Amino acid sequence: MFDIVSCRQDIDQVIDIARIIWTEHYTPIIGIEQVEYMLSNFQSAQTITEQISTGNHQYYLIINLVLLKLLKSVLILARAM
């Protein structure tokens, strides 16, 4: 199942997913300061809203509820270790 990102709640989900991905995978490569820069400049609510409203970008949320629950559990366990 997939949904086109069109409201603030959807945008917040995109931001949350982006934060998880960028922090977990890019911090060791480029450092936390660069990750924070990228998130605040390219994955912020304001930027995503502007991109959607101008028609320059289209975002989708691909939802697999079983996989999503598993992924959240794995991330929680990984952080606890």
10 Å CB burial of residue 5 (0-12, 13-18, 19+) is buried
Look at residue 53 and tell me whether its pLDDT is greater than 50.
yes
Looking at per-residue confidence, does 67 or 53 come out higher?
A: 53
Q: Of all residues in the chain, what percent are helix, strand and coil, respectively (each to 5)?
A: 75, 5, 20
Rounded Cα distance, 55 and 13, in Å: 19
Nearest by Cα to 46 from 6, 8, 4, 19: 8
Residue 35 pLDDT grade (very low, low, confident, very high; cuts 50, 70, 90)? very high
Chain mean pLDDT for the chain: 85
| pLDDT above 80: residue 81 | no
